[in-house]
Structure 1
Amino acid sequence: MTEISRRSMIAAAGGAMMASPALAQTAPAPAAPLPRRGSKGADILGPTNDPRAAEEPFTQAPPATDHGTMPNLKWSFSDSHMRLEEGGWARQTTVRELPISKAMAGVNMRLKAGVVREMHWHKEAEWAYMIKGKARITAVDQDGRTFADDVGEGDLWYFPGGIPHSIQGLAADGVDGCEFLLVFDDGGFSEDSTFLLTDWLAHTPKDILAKNLGVPESALAKIPEKELYIFPGPTPGPLAADKMGGAGDVPKTFSHRMLAQEPIRTRSGRVRITDSTVFPASVTIAAALVEVEPGGLRELHWHPNSDEWQYYLSGKGRMTVFGSESKARTFDYQAGDVGYVPYAMGHYIENTGDTTLTFLEMFKSPRYADISLNQWLALTPHPLVQAHTGLDPKQIDALSQTKTPVVPG
Structure 2
Amino acid sequence: MNKLAAAVFCAVLYSRVVAALPVGDDSHATPVSSVSSSPSITVALGEGAVATTTSGDAVLPSPTVPYASDDPNYWLWNETTMEDPEPIRGSLGGSILGPQNVPIDKQNPDLLAAPTTDNGDVGNAKWPFGLSKNRLVSGGWIRTQNVEQMPLAKAMAGANIRLEPGAIRELHWHNVAEWAYVLEGSTQITSVDQLGRNYVATVNKGDLWYFPPGIPHSLQATNDSAIGTEFLLIFPSGTFGDDNTFLLTDWLAHTPKEVIAKNFQNSIEDWDQIPSRDLYIFPGVALPSDQKPPFDPNGQIPQPFFFEFSKVKPTQYSGETVKIADSTTFPISTEIAVSEVTVEPGAMRAMHWHPTQDEWGLFLEGTARATIYAASGNAQTFDYQPGDISYVPTGWGHYIENTGNTTLRFLEIFNTDRFEDVSLEQWLALTPPALVKQHLQLSDNTIAKFNKTKNYVVGPNKSS
Which residue in the other structure is 1:210 paired with?
A: 261
The one-letter amino acid of 1:154's match is G
Judged with a 3 Å threshold, the aligned counterparts in structure 2 of structure 1 residues 200 and 29 are, in CA distance, closer, same or farther, namely farther
Judged with a 3 Å threshold, the aligned counterparts in structure 2 of structure 1 residues 274 and 238 are, in CA distance, closer, same or farther, namely closer
Judged with a 3 Å threshold, the aligned counterparts in structure 2 of structure 1 residues 333 and 363 are, in CA distance, closer, same or farther, namely same
1:264 aligns with 2:315: yes
Which blocks of at least 5 consecutive residues in structure 2 are unaligned?
1-78
Stretch of structure 1 that moved more, 89-98 or 256-265: 256-265
Structure index of larger Rg = 2
1:371 aligned residue (422, 428, 433): 422
> How many residues get paired?
382
Which blocks of at least 5 consecutive residues in structure 1 are unaligned?
1-26
After superposition, residues 221-240 of structure 1 pair within 5 angstroms as 221-237=272-288, 239-240=290-291
**8 Å CA contact 1:375, 1:399 repeated in 2:** yes
Which residue in the other structure is 2:360 paired with?
A: 309
How far apart in 2 are the matches of 1:244 and 1:357? 45
How far 1:252 sits from its partner (Å)? 1.6
**8 Å CA contact 2:176, 2:244 repeated in 1:** no
Judged with a 3 Å threshold, the aligned counterparts in structure 2 of structure 1 residues 228 and 294 are, in CA distance, closer, same or farther, namely same
Which residue in the other structure is 1:69 paired with?
A: 121
Q: Which string of whole-angstrom CA distances, capped at 9 and with x for unpartnered residues, describes residues 227-280 of structure 1?
A: 000001123135343354241121321100112122221132111111111111
How far apart in 1 are the matches of 2:81 and 2:451? 43
After superposition, residues 99-118 of structure 1 pair within 5 angstroms as 99-118=151-170
Which residue in the other structure is 2:403 paired with?
A: 352
Judged with a 3 Å threshold, the aligned counterparts in structure 2 of structure 1 residues 377 and 243 are, in CA distance, closer, same or farther, namely farther
**8 Å CA contact 1:170, 1:176 repeated in 2:** no
Stretch of structure 1 that moved more, 70-79 or 382-391: 382-391
How far 1:56 sits from its partner (Å)? 0.3
**What RMSD, in angstroms, separates the aligned Cα atoms of the two structures?**
1.5
Which residue in the other structure is 1:7 paired with?
A: none
After superposition, residues 326-345 of structure 1 pair within 5 angstroms as 326-345=377-396
After superposition, residues 31-50 of structure 1 pair within 5 angstroms as 32-50=84-102
How far apart in 2 are the matches of 1:156 and 1:200? 28
Judged with a 3 Å threshold, the aligned counterparts in structure 2 of structure 1 residues 29 and 37 are, in CA distance, closer, same or farther, namely closer
How far 1:30 sits from its partner (Å)? 6.6
1:82 aligned residue (106, 120, 134): 134
How far apart in 2 are the matches of 1:398 and 1:262? 29
The one-letter amino acid of 1:33's match is P
The one-letter amino acid of 1:230's match is I
1:398 aligns with 2:438: no
1:92 aligned residue (133, 144, 159): 144
**8 Å CA contact 1:148, 1:243 repeated in 2:** no
The one-letter amino acid of 1:291's match is T
Judged with a 3 Å threshold, the aligned counterparts in structure 2 of structure 1 residues 163 and 171 are, in CA distance, closer, same or farther, namely same
Judged with a 3 Å threshold, the aligned counterparts in structure 2 of structure 1 residues 29 and 289 are, in CA distance, closer, same or farther, namely closer
Structure 1 runs (4+) greater than 2 angstroms displaced = 27-32, 237-246
After superposition, residues 156-195 of structure 1 pair within 5 angstroms as 156-172=208-224, 174-195=225-246
**8 Å CA contact 1:146, 1:246 repeated in 2:** no
How far 1:175 sits from its partner (Å)? 4.0
How far apart in 2 are the matches of 1:355 and 1:246? 53
How far apart in 2 are the matches of 1:171 and 1:111? 11
After superposition, residues 150-161 of structure 1 pair within 5 angstroms as 150-161=202-213
**8 Å CA contact 2:175, 2:244 repeated in 1:** no
**8 Å CA contact 1:29, 1:51 repeated in 2:** no
The one-letter amino acid of 2:432's match is P
Q: What percent of counterpart residues are identical?
A: 48
Judged with a 3 Å threshold, the aligned counterparts in structure 2 of structure 1 residues 243 and 355 are, in CA distance, closer, same or farther, namely farther
Q: Which string of whole-angstrom CA distances, capped at 9 and with x for unpartnered residues, describes residues 59-95 of structure 1?
A: 0000111011110000000000000000100000101
**8 Å CA contact 2:336, 2:413 repeated in 1:** yes
**8 Å CA contact 2:307, 2:330 repeated in 1:** yes
How far apart in 2 are the matches of 1:244 and 1:196? 24
How far 1:45 sits from its partner (Å)? 1.2
Which residue in the other structure is 2:187 paired with?
A: 135
The one-letter amino acid of 1:73's match is A
The one-letter amino acid of 2:167's match is V
Which residue in the other structure is 1:278 paired with?
A: 329
Judged with a 3 Å threshold, the aligned counterparts in structure 2 of structure 1 residues 269 and 105 are, in CA distance, closer, same or farther, namely same
**8 Å CA contact 1:210, 1:220 repeated in 2:** yes
The one-letter amino acid of 2:204's match is G
1:53 aligned residue (95, 105, 111): 105
The one-letter amino acid of 2:282's match is F
Which residue in the other structure is 1:124 paired with?
A: 176
Judged with a 3 Å threshold, the aligned counterparts in structure 2 of structure 1 residues 32 and 137 are, in CA distance, closer, same or farther, namely farther
How far 1:356 sits from its partner (Å)? 1.1
**8 Å CA contact 1:319, 1:349 repeated in 2:** yes
How far apart in 1 are the matches of 2:318 and 2:394? 29
User: Aligned to 1:109, what secondary structure does the other structure show?
Assistant: strand
User: Aligned to 1:53, what secondary structure does the other structure show?
Assistant: helix
Which residue in the other structure is 1:388 paired with?
A: 439
How far apart in 1 are the matches of 2:243 and 2:405? 39
